[in-house]
Structure 1
């Protein structure tokens, strides 16, 4: 994927919330890749998709059944797999099925609707972002996020760009590095 936000690098991997799984899916789809989930994330997603009948009754699920995906998620949990990959179109179906189902917290609903909106905007390009200028991948998707006429919690922040950067070394660390270089000389 090339980058991950700080939350995705650390806490979200071992103690994911539903929102974290949705963000993980969004980040991967933004980067034009299949969605890789660990066993903890698979457990959360499996439980969310099966806790009620609503996701399975959605139009998205009926068009692209997620039954085999549920088996794969359950197997990943049972075997403690480090990565289980969900195809790009299947991830779209997962988001659509969860969005169509009632329930969840207000924050989860808001995030699901934001992701669904942006997936649709990336597909339809309603603001006419110049694809020739940006290509069809993440650069174009970032421009579509910026140009949206219905800002969401994701587009207001500029998309999934909460990048983790290692902080610059403190002066103490800098002087320690210089001293070790001097000792080696």
Structure 2
């Protein structure tokens, strides 16, 4: 298969399209849409968001050092995009998009009630990288919408929430599930005995 060289760039896709909420008072509360985000540690749970210094929310993050990552859904696609292309300098985004700011449990930043998952974060380090500054944060609490929690297992039905992802300038829903973690090494079991399937000689 032939390959061509491209200049170095950000070609890791798809990415989560999240709405980050921040601000300590109702007057300064804002929402910024972020794709440069992800998990960086399991224990303690840590994540990051990267923000351009010229964006309105950057100064708020620098001062408050707290934010909430709100996972988005296909129903929230319009609001997610709108909050990414409009500035908090000119709009109160909660009001414009009819989103509900709710109280977080461990940080002063608000959650977005309409989001299925709200990840409360406290900044522990800021790395000045270039076009973006990376806000490295510890996850101090997670809120989950109970309608997506399986009452029998306690598991969160992420697929049922219809999450939204971002890929090279476009928003997408998730496709069909093709396997679960570890399926490539999982031993098959017989339906009758529940034991391993033995091949016939």
Q: Shared fold (TM-score greater than 0.5)?
A: no
Structure 1 length normalisation: TM-score?
Answer: 0.27
| Greater per-residue strand proportion | 2
- Between 1 and 2, higher relative CO (CA 8 Å, sep ≥ 6) is seen in 1
| Greater per-residue helix proportion | 1
Structure 2 length normalisation: TM-score?
Answer: 0.25
